[in-house]
Chain A
Amino acid sequence: MSAVAGERVHAPAPGRGRPAARVAERGFLWLALVPTFFFLVSFYLYPTLFNLETSLTDLSLFGLKRGGDWVGVDNYVELFRSGDFRRVLWNTIVWLTLAGVGVRIALGLALAFLLNSATLARWRLQTVSRVLLIVPWATPPVVAIIVWRWLLDPRVGSINSALISIGVVDQPIAFLSTAGWIWPALLTIITWNTLPLVALTFLASLQSLPDELVEAARIDGASRWQLVRYVYLPHLKPAIVVMILMSTFWTFNNFVYVWLTTGAGPGLYTNVMATEVYIQAFINGRFGYSSAAGVVMAAIMTVFGLVYLRVIARRELQEERS
């Protein structure tokens, strides 16, 4: 991997003139790439290996300076036997990732079609709606979480007062502490904050679809559903695939939404892998165990990363050919 940066960077572009120029070229490559790979190796590679080593010890917060004792795979055994960890996996994979990504892609598509509709252009709402769509994206997650926690609050929140005033409910709902409501509420916050990027990506893709294609299909008598099914969706497919992959990374790895909204609670009801890694290390002081959880997380993401690389690599190749 990146550790070999130095050794491999020695062959400049072939046939570029005199030897002096070739030496200069090689010098440039070194200067251009070594700083970057210094950061990548010392921030990504080395800590990952260090993490792997820590996961095989019982390093604790109090033994930081001294180091931990070797315990072999004990941490992993404990991890996989733990019922808590199984729930963490379930929360992370089913709720946070599958449900979270699914909702975002579906709403992103709907929003992109809505903002692309000819009606909005005729009513001169296109530009203003696109600018306003950026607002949630430009809101830092911490701010988004604070506002939404207030909006969802049972005593002062405006969602509850709105629901009561239109008569949908009689009693305010404590969205962030009632079992059935917590995950939908959390997903609402995450979706609100991250939907614009997904919707804008789909919108950009829709706008790159040639009008003639749609026109031709319409002349051939395609119904609206057939248009979506056979013209729009195939065109959007690459964007959808990339967005599914990217949102999966963001959501699976995200710490801040769950931690600042529910603190993984009540109890550990909404605990996910990212918060588990943090809690074990910084609250319980069990760095060894936390590292083992981190290694499991990294393993899952590595599989995903390989898929991502394949997709991106294939797309780059296609672009080069065209």
Chain B
Amino acid sequence: MTPAFRFGRRLGLGLLGEVAVVLTTLVVLFFLVYPTAWVLVASFKTPETMFAAGRWEFTLQNYVKLLDAGFGRNILNSLVLCIVSVAISTVLAVNAAYAFSRLRFRGKDALFSSVLFGQTFPWIILVTPVFILCARLGWLNSMASMIFVYVAVTLPFSIYLLVGYLRAVPESLDEAAIIDGATRFQIIWRIVFPIMLPGIVATATYAFLLCWSEYLFALALLTADEMKTMPLALYLYFGENVTEWGHVMAAAALTTLPTLLLFLPLQTRMVSGLAAGSVKQ
């Protein structure tokens, strides 16, 4: 008699029940992983063998051709845009979150509520006015206006997440530093920052992912090909009359890889932070 069988019996599950649970899990996991895994695998197959179940020809040509077609420019656009936006938004969010979490001031509740409200705001409503304003000011196809947009869309939930993490940092540390004559900025960057670095990293990562896959504002504000971000360029390869499957799969794999690599190590921390119920997709 196997150990699993004995334990199972105690819980009222026979061996059959145990096997059923395991099989269900495997089927569910297959369903969850298959689409993404398929992209990664297909990006290394020749377009001729891509859709054939049994056949398999390894190639790097998809990537070579994709970069020849100018996708490098899109990668660069996405990287610069996301990194700069996240850096600005995280620095601002740390300061604001600290103020909300530690200081008392008039109107704090109303202000914090308006930050929370920003999270729930339908972006689609903002696209039309932001587009009109940018068009009038001649700010379409500009990295600066996209950075402005991405800082603004990531700020509210970054602040909310960081306020949550700050709660875990004992306030006695601040008090001691104040008595020693430290300013608030010194407290934030010398004392609080190192302690809550894991929380800040998680927040910044999530903000990065949000920017990385953002489509709507990029679609409205970036119309010139050389300004487009990776998701836009990717969909263009897909949407043209004759789909270049080699391009599509390589571009899709390159778009997915950074998010996969960032997500997996962060999974546990992410969940505990997000379980507080506070993110936007």
Contact = CB atoms under 8 A, between A and B. Distances in A.
Contacts of B59: none
A308 B120 contact: yes
Name, among B39, B92, B123, B127, the residue most crowded by chain A CB atoms within 10 Å (CB to CB). Answer: B127
Interface string A112-140: 00110111101101000111111111111
B28 A287 contact: no
B105 A10 contact: yes
B182 to A, nearest CB: 11
B128 A287 contact: yes
Nearest to A118: B11
B241 interface: no
A200 interface: yes
A2 B114 contact: yes
A132 B25 CA distance: 11
B200 interface: no
B79 interface: no
A40 B152 contact: yes
Contacts of A129: 25, 29
Name, among B124, B129, B136, B248, the residue most crowded by chain A CB atoms within 10 Å (CB to CB). Answer: B124
A65 to B, nearest CB: 7
Nearest to B257: A138
B279 interface: yes
Nearest to A151: B35
B281 A277 contact: no
A309 interface: yes
Interface string A295-322: 1011001001100110011000001000
Contacts of B121: 44, 301, 305
A246 B277 contact: yes
A76 to B, nearest CB: 15
A51 B111 contact: no
B95 A243 contact: no
B172 interface: no
Nearest to A115: B25
Interface in A37-51: 37, 39-40, 42-44, 47-48, 50-51
A11 B92 CA distance: 21
B35 A138 contact: no
A2 B111 contact: yes
Name, among A138, A274, A277, the residue most crowded by chain B CB atoms within 10 Å (CB to CB). Answer: A138
Interface residues of B, number: 103
Contacts of B115: 36, 40
B62 to A, nearest CB: 14
Interface stretch (B63-71, B191-199, B266-274): B266-274
A268 interface: no
Interface residues of A, number: 112
B260 A28 contact: no
Interface stretch (A83-91, A95-103, A174-182, A248-256): A248-256
Contacts of A35: 92, 95-96
B252 A32 contact: no
Name, among B13, B118, B234, B275, the residue most crowded by chain A CB atoms within 10 Å (CB to CB). Answer: B275
Nearest to A4: B107
A43 B255 contact: no
Contacts of B143: none
B149 A12 contact: no
Contacts of B133: 47, 50
A100 B235 CA distance: 24
B260 A135 contact: yes
Contact of A54 (B7, B120, B128, B178): B128
B272 A44 contact: no
Interface string A216-250: 00000000100000000000000100110110011
Given A138-B260, A246-B277, 10 more contacts: A16-B178, A32-B96, A36-B115, A43-B130, A59-B132, A139-B256, A142-B213, A142-B231, A147-B35, A201-B274
Interface of B: 3-4, 7-8, 11-13, 17-18, 21-22, 24-25, 28-29, 31-33, 35-39, 51, 53, 92-93, 95-96, 98-99, 103-107, 110-111, 113-133, 135-136, 148-149, 151-153, 155-156, 159, 167, 178, 183-185, 209, 212-213, 215-216, 220, 231, 234-235, 238, 248, 252, 255-256, 259-260, 262-264, 267, 271-272, 274-275, 277-281
